[in-house]
Amino acid sequence: MSLINFRARSHLAGGLLCVLLGLAAPLQAALPDFAQVRANWRSSEAWLLDHNGELLQETRVDPKVRRTLWTPLADISPALIAAVLKAEDQRFFEHAGVDWLAAGKAALTNWMNERPRGASTLTMQLAGLLDAQYRARVARRDVAEKWRQMQAAKTIEKTWRKAEILEAYLNLAPFRGELTGIDAATRGLFDKRPAGLNDNEALILAALIRSPNARAKDVARRACALAAVTECEALTARTFNVLSGRYPILPAADLAPHLAHRLALSGHASRRSTLDAALQRHVRATLAQQLRHLAARNARDAAALVVDNASGAVLAYVSLSSGESSAAQNDGVRAPRQAGSTLKPFLYGLAFEQRLLTAASPLRDEPLSIAAGGGQYTPENYDHAYRGLVSARVALASSLNIPAVRTLELTGLDPFAARLAELGFKQLTEAADFYGYALALGSLDVRLEELVNAYRSLANGGRISALRFRPEQPRSHARRVLSPQAAFLIGDILSDRQARALTFGLENPLATRYWSAVKTGTSKDMRDNWCVGYSRRYSVGVWVGNFDGSPMHDVSGISGAAPAWAAIMDHLHPSGNETDNALLPPKAAAGLIRRNIQPAGEPSRREWFIPGSEPSAETWSAAVPASGIEYPSEGLILALDPDIPAARQQLTFRARNMPADAVWQIDDIRQETAAWPLARGRHRLQLIDRQGVVLDQVEFEVR
């Protein structure tokens, strides 16, 4: 026997003598009772709930430890309880905190054997879990530490019930790596709850308690010993399989990870949201199905938002990616993406308010070129076709591009940019000239939540308020951004199947069996696809595309986002009572009047008008924007070519809507024709009417 082991055994014998004589150090601090332990317990997870309290998302918030749910004893497998008692404390229900028989046997065994062993009961181990002063400061406790732990265990037994001791122990004990507590252990190792443990799984967990990070073969050997069988190949194989790698815990619910991150769940607590769990599941399933359908067209990401019109409560918040996505962590509800045609309704609404257009006003859908910056802006329709004269109703409902740009010429860039800012589009950080007339066609980056709330303002008669994500969040004050009359007209146009048919046909996903107003949009090179619309109760927006900005292949508004939008809207408006007011068209805004009209090239119809904008006859001319210089553009720089004779180098002036008697003037010299011989220097070109009023002017340079 070595001198070291002899001394160790002598100390243990001396410690037992101290126990018998009652020579112990006093306890240093009072231990909490079971209720306090349960109340102070903190999970490493936080939970997002729906408005009814149903779990939507479990999110880890503590990176230092992994504790999940506190598990009542009644919800723990009896097989595990039996295995733990057999491994750690066979007379648990018989002793009062200290198993003196086991302590005596341990003392004798430690005197005779090279490998000493302890005799800590579950209650003694619980004392160490509750207070660090009752844990060993080195590999093994000295006599005084052991005695203090025994005294603490006796104190616990006086005030705790046995079931409470066992429940607290199983919830506080470390099992493997960072897994602490029985729920984290069973989820991390077996992907199940404690109630579902079988005999072999219970034996493995019981074997881990004594040495949580032991080698798999040592855990297997101890588990086999607990099983008291000679043939334990299956148990050994299961042990090696379970302890072979990392121990990930799958979230108990994973329906709203992006909203959970947005709300910054913390404090190891649950938080209610305005979401509806059943609707959230439906929207996720709908987007997943649409992404599968579009997989061959290189569409990998999608997002959707559902909002209650009246309250602003967000009922569904989904950002979803396929397995091929390279940026699945992005939040598609908040990601800025190019708007496409989804901004057109707000442009036409502005023109209606300013009495520049009515829903029946003819607009020219024909080739157009506008001076912009250092060149020309030449918009085209999506299908590269032209329709001649079309009414504003048809132009908007059928999403024609050239009439939209002509409408922006009427309203002006700055007023439209100001209207978009009022609607809450926060990416509008540059001057309106930065976006140019492409702003009419969606050159602005927008967020899905901004779009949906802007369309919600149309549903609410032109009033906008902030969206709500938590039930306790107070409703914000609604402010007016659009007249009730203009808002109604836009909704009436966006719900008009006949007006939409020019581009989309009569049968398409936008045609619902209940009243709804909807608009699609596709950005440049098919990088973003939108469908946003509303009924009287809900506003719904869907985006489909790729977070990495890569283009989709042949995906339009109708084939991309619209099918998912229609499926969500149909779920929100189940068939049944078709006389339900929520399914019927809204009443016309006060003050609107209706007239029989005959728009150019379209069937006669009854049309709505804002008072003062109604026609004096059934037909009238197309709206004409103000006169302006198209070429040269402001700031243009031209260069003389030394290889071309100077007399042949000329600049031809161009203007839009130039009055017949208007004249050109350059550097205060009137020009007889629009052809001007180039001359080096800086020049000012003016377009002047017959009264001498300057209609437009630009400055350019020739080098």
pLDDT at 103: 60
pLDDT at 5: 45
Q: Which of 183, 181, 227, 188 is nearest to 204 (CA)?
A: 227
CA dihedral 497, 499, 504, 507 (to 10 degrees): 30
Q: Retrieve residue 492's tokens.
A: 């009436």
Q: Given 242, 270, 285, which residue is the final one in a domain?
A: 242
pLDDT at 634: 82
pLDDT at 135: 74
pLDDT at 98: 86
Contacts 24+ apart (CB under 8 A), 158-163: 159/33, 160/33, 160/34, 161/34, 162/92, 162/93, 163/73
Q: Determine, yes or no, domain membership for 313.
A: no
Q: Give the span between the Cα atoms of 475 and 460, in whole angstroms.
A: 14
553 and 583 in a single domain? The answer is: yes
pLDDT single digits (tens) 135-180 = 766 555 566 777 888 888 899 999 999 999 999 999 999 999 999 9
pLDDT single digits (tens) 202-238 = 999 999 998 999 999 999 999 999 988 777 899 999 9
* Helix or strand run (H / E) with residue 405: helix 401-411
pLDDT single digits (tens) 573-587 = 987 555 677 788 999
CB count within 10 Å of CB 315 equals 22
Q: Given 609, 638, 673, which residue is the final one in a domain?
A: 609
Name the E strands within 3-109.
45-49, 55-60
Q: Given 579, 609, 639, which residue is the final one in a domain?
A: 609
Q: Which of 242, 190, 245, 184 is nearest to 58 (CA)?
A: 184
603 and 635 in a single domain? The answer is: no
Q: Give the span between the Cα atoms of 558 and 564, in whole angstroms.
A: 10
475 and 574 in a single domain? The answer is: yes
Residue 258: strand, helix, or coil: helix
Q: Determine, yes or no, domain membership for 135.
A: yes
Residue 113: strand, helix, or coil: coil
Q: Determine, yes or no, domain membership for 373.
A: yes
Q: Give the span between the Cα atoms of 488 and 589, in whole angstroms.
A: 6
Could you tell me the CATH number of the domain that includes residue 226? 1.10.3810.10
515 and 397 in a single domain? The answer is: yes
602 and 644 in a single domain? The answer is: no
Q: Give the span between the Cα atoms of 67 and 249, in whole angstroms.
A: 10
Per the DSSP assignment, residues forming a β-bridge with 313 are 468
* Mean pLDDT value across the chain: 88
Q: Determine, yes or no, domain membership for 356.
A: yes
560 and 528 Cβ atoms separated by less than 8 Å: no
pLDDT at 9: 45
Q: Determine, yes or no, domain membership for 448.
A: yes
Q: Give the span between the Cα atoms of 206 and 227, in whole angstroms.
A: 11
Q: What is the pTM of this model?
A: 0.81
Q: Give the span between the Cα atoms of 106 and 84, in whole angstroms.
A: 19
669 and 595 in a single domain? The answer is: no
Q: In the predicted model, what is the mean pLDDT of residues 260-286?
A: 90
The rounded percent of the chain whose pLDDT value lies above 70 is 89
pLDDT single digits (tens) 80-138 = 999 999 999 999 998 987 877 766 565 555 444 544 445 689 999 999 999 888 776 65
448 and 333 Cβ atoms separated by less than 8 Å: yes
Q: Determine, yes or no, domain membership for 331.
A: no
Q: Determine, yes or no, domain membership for 43.
A: no
Q: Give the span between the Cα atoms of 265 and 269, in whole angstroms.
A: 8
Name the E strands within 516-673.
517-522, 528-534, 538-545, 593-597, 605-609, 628-631, 637-638, 650-652, 654-656, 663-666, 669-671
Query: 212: domain range?
Result: 3-30+67-242
Could you tell me the CATH number of the domain that includes residue 641? 2.60.40
362 and 237 in a single domain? The answer is: no
Tell me the DSSP string of 274-310: S--HHHHHHHHHHHHHHHHHTGGGT--EEEEEEEETT
238 and 359 in a single domain? The answer is: no
434 and 361 in a single domain? The answer is: yes
585 and 494 in a single domain? The answer is: yes
280 and 287 Cβ atoms separated by less than 8 Å: no
The rounded percent of the chain whose pLDDT value lies above 90 is 64
Could you tell me the CATH number of the domain that includes residue 482? 3.40.710.10
Q: Give the span between the Cα atoms of 574 and 576, in whole angstroms.
A: 6
186 and 150 in a single domain? The answer is: yes
Q: Give the span between the Cα atoms of 215 and 200, in whole angstroms.
A: 17
pLDDT single digits (tens) 434-480 = 899 999 999 999 999 999 999 999 999 999 999 999 999 998 899 99
pLDDT single digits (tens) 522-576 = 998 899 999 999 999 999 999 999 999 999 999 987 899 999 999 999 999 987 5
Per the DSSP assignment, residues forming a β-bridge with 55 are 49
Residue 64: strand, helix, or coil: coil
Q: Give the span between the Cα atoms of 115 and 644, in whole angstroms.
A: 104
Domain count, the chain: 3
Cis-peptide, bond into residue 362, ω within 30° of zero: no
Assign 431 a pLDDT band (cuts: 50, 70, 90): confident
Q: Determine, yes or no, domain membership for 394.
A: yes
pLDDT at 14: 43
661 and 598 in a single domain? The answer is: no
Tell me the DSSP string of 319-370: EEE-TT-S-TTS-TTT--EE-GGGGHHHHHHHHHHTTS--TT-EEEES---E
